[in-house]
Amino acid sequence: MIEIIAVGIGGFIGSCLRFGLTKLLSLTNTAFPFATLLSNAVAGFAIGSIIGYEQTSGNLDSKWKLFLITGLLGGLSTFSTFSLETVNLFGEKKYLWAIGNILLNLTLSLCGVVVGMWVARLMWKRA
């Protein structure tokens, strides 16, 4: 039961963060979905950092991992919104924006995981 609560609270916080980021970046009034890109890139970096920390220190409680990765970062990142925004850009014949959105989301999210793991390993290197 505690695992469900941890995921639920984390998901609530992550979803609220993504909503706030979307509201904040909607003030830029641009066609490109920067809020989703930033959410996915930050979540990628954060998950890489958490896993890098766990691999280096070997010390991350499973409930915290559920709260942070499944809940918080699962709520913050969003593949479904990224997919819808990309389909909408194609539908609006904004092909360059759509392709850029695909490339940037995948590249920044994947690189974020790798860089996050690298940074965490440097920070919590075992002696």
The pLDDT of residue 67 is: 96
For residue 99 the two structure tokens come to 């392709």
Task: Give the total number of structural domains in the chain.
Answer: 1
Whole-model pTM: value is 0.84
Residue 69 CA to residue 97 CA, distance in Å, equals 29
**Per-residue pLDDT reduced to its tens digit, 51-62:** 999 988 878 889
Domain range enclosing 57: 2-123
Under 8 Å between Cβ of 75 and 11: yes
- Whether the pLDDT of residue 127 is over 50: the answer is no
